[in-house]
A and B are shown apart, each in its own frame.
Chain A
Amino acid sequence: MRSLIDILDLSTEELRELIETAEDIIADPEKYAEVCRHKKLATLFFEPSTRTRLSFEAAMYELGGNVLSVSSANSSSAAKGESVADTAKTVSCYADIIAMRHPKEGAAFVAAANASIPVINAGDGGHLHPTQTLADLLTIWREKGRFTDLTIGLCGDLKFGRTVHSLISAMSRYEGNRFVLISPEELKVPSYVKSVLKEKNIPYEQTSDLMEVIGDLDILYMTRVQRERFFNEEDYLRLKDSYILTPDKMRSAREDLSVMHPLPRVNEISVAIDDDPRACYFKQVKNGKYMRMALILKLLYEAGTLKTLPERSRA
């Protein structure tokens, strides 16, 4: 059974197809409005999340499907001590596809190994969040028209920021990209992410000074310092305001910079930047829904749950 746990489970060819489907949905949403009729998506969210769950649910509704929802660990069987493996087996009896978020790293992998329906990893702790990366990729594609030869700055919490890890993995597969990793010392990217860059000889630089590098960037991917990833409140308070993007700082950036953020933001991007044409984060939210629609279609089709898919119009 095909699932999506890690963005690298998808080949670059498959990513291209997903982007084509998403573009087709954007161009002609009517064509897709009934494709998943009578099909059910189970959203199992064992960790607080509003936007990702809503995005999945909106995606399924826009495909004409239905949604079964578990929205907190406290109100579910997990609170009674049920294992992820058993939950996955049980939900496989009710739904056609699962989107799961869980605070433990590797939880979606365990669910996929035990479910008899496709599982989409909607975030496993600080580890991976591949559908956010799908949203990011569609945004980069629509803003830049390419995945190659880009200087990508990632700023903020690069240690626990799973969206950052997934985006680095995904963009490492295209040629000519360069990464600028901007974070305080305590929130640097983990070694396994850096080892991917080193293995592939991908140029990257690490710095703690955003202003030193902002003028070089094609993309600036901002992240929030996440309170829920810290064991210690003191560390969180010390680091939370490390980087705040303001209109003043944006003056040093290029005219064609794209500012991205997986959201929710707290204060790391000043609200005044929302009207700047370089701000892409709300477009990213919308793109996320379209990519989740494309992904649900792909996985349900591969599982044999959907017999046909609408033909994509050729642009």
Chain B
Amino acid sequence: MTVDSIQNGIVIDHLRAGSAMKLYELLGLSDPSLTVAIMKNVTSRKLGRKDIIKIDGITDVDLDVIGYVDPEATVNIIRDGELIEKKSIPAPERLVNVLRCKNPRCISSTEQELPQIFALSDREKRIYRCIYCETRFSS
């Protein structure tokens, strides 16, 4: 299977197998105007199995979301056909408007326009907690 290389955009490589669809959702890639390729469960020398997402045409995605879903993933930023940056994104200290608190008793479930903010409480286990009610969320 081949997917054309992109001129401008982002390739998110070495994603833990099974995590591409979650990242696709959280990055809002279902927008019909976007050109996106998802490769799931492909062979990887490094990981055994991995997922890859290629996004054509845009480079300004919320990188924190990638760090949240998989801090081990490699983010390749491509401009004019050249790889200009290659990096991993550490799990961010705060996630703003990425997750929604599922606690029905949380103030964020009723208060209008309140940002949904989660703070990293355990980096090793990648546990986030709602800053309002402390409900946990793990990636």
Residues of A within 8 A of B (CB): 83-85, 102-107, 109-110, 124-127, 191-192, 195
Q: Which 7 pairs across A and B sit closest by C-beta, in order of nearness?
A: A106-B132, A105-B133, A104-B107, A106-B107, A107-B107, A106-B133, A125-B105
B130 — which chain A residues lie within 8 A by C-beta?
106
Q: What does the 1/0 interface line of B89-126 toward A look like (CB < 8 Å)?
A: 00000000000000101111111111000000010000
Q: How far is the CA of A109 from the CA of B131 in the complex (A)?
A: 9
B134 — which chain A residues lie within 8 A by C-beta?
105, 127, 192
Given contacts A127-B133, A192-B136, contact A103 B105 (CB under 8 A): yes
Q: How far is the CA of A291 from the CA of B111 in the complex (A)?
A: 31
A124 — which chain B residues lie within 8 A by C-beta?
107
Nearest B residue to A81 via CB reads B112
Q: Is B129 an interface residue (CB 8 A)?
A: yes
Contacting residue for A105 out of B103, B122, B136, CB 8 A: B103
| A-contacting residues, B4-51, CB 8 Å | none
Residues of B within 8 A of A (CB): 103, 105-114, 122, 129-136
Cβ of B129 and Cβ of A106 under 8 Å apart?
Answer: no
Nearest B residue to A125 via CB reads B105
Distance to closest chain A CB from B11 (angstroms): 37
B132 — which chain A residues lie within 8 A by C-beta?
105-107, 109-110
If over half of A's interface residues share one DSSP class (helix, strand or loop), that class is named, otherwise mixed; here it is mixed
Q: How far is the CA of A192 from the CA of B138 in the complex (A)?
A: 13
Cβ of A85 and Cβ of B114 under 8 Å apart?
Answer: yes
A110 — which chain B residues lie within 8 A by C-beta?
107, 111, 114, 132
Contacting residue for B106 out of A84, A85, A105, A192, CB 8 A: A105
Cβ of B110 and Cβ of A104 under 8 Å apart?
Answer: yes
Cβ of A106 and Cβ of B131 under 8 Å apart?
Answer: yes
Given contacts A106-B131, A106-B133, A127-B133, contact A83 B111 (CB under 8 A): yes
Cβ of B111 and Cβ of A84 under 8 Å apart?
Answer: yes
Nearest A residue to B130 via CB reads A106
Q: How far is the CA of A83 from the CA of B111 in the complex (A)?
A: 6
Cβ of B108 and Cβ of A106 under 8 Å apart?
Answer: yes
Nearest A residue to B132 via CB reads A106
Nearest A residue to B112 via CB reads A83
Cβ of A105 and Cβ of B129 under 8 Å apart?
Answer: no
Cβ of B107 and Cβ of A84 under 8 Å apart?
Answer: yes
B105 — which chain A residues lie within 8 A by C-beta?
103-105, 125-127
Nearest A residue to B129 via CB reads A192
Q: How far is the CA of A105 from the CA of B134 in the complex (A)?
A: 9
Q: How far is the CA of A249 from the CA of B37 in the complex (A)?
A: 68
Q: How far is the CA of A125 from the CA of B122 in the complex (A)?
A: 25
6 contacts between A and B (CB under 8 A): A83-B114, A104-B106, A105-B107, A105-B133, A110-B114, A192-B129
B112 — which chain A residues lie within 8 A by C-beta?
83
Q: How far is the CA of A192 from the CA of B119 in the complex (A)?
A: 14
Distance to closest chain A CB from B42 (angstroms): 36
Contacting residue for A191 out of B103, B106, B136, CB 8 A: B136
B122 — which chain A residues lie within 8 A by C-beta?
195
Nearest B residue to A165 via CB reads B134
Q: How far is the CA of A275 from the CA of B11 in the complex (A)?
A: 73
Distance to closest chain A CB from B67 (angstroms): 22
Cβ of A104 and Cβ of B109 under 8 Å apart?
Answer: yes
B103 — which chain A residues lie within 8 A by C-beta?
105
Q: How far is the CA of A150 from the CA of B50 in the complex (A)?
A: 52
Q: How far is the CA of A85 from the CA of B115 in the complex (A)?
A: 12
Given contacts A83-B111, A192-B129, A192-B134, 7 further A-B contacts (CB under 8 A): A83-B113, A84-B107, A85-B111, A85-B114, A109-B131, A192-B135, A195-B122
Distance to closest chain B CB from A94 (angstroms): 21
Q: How far is the CA of A106 from the CA of B110 in the complex (A)?
A: 11
A126 — which chain B residues lie within 8 A by C-beta?
105
Distance to closest chain B CB from A250 (angstroms): 35
B110 — which chain A residues lie within 8 A by C-beta?
104
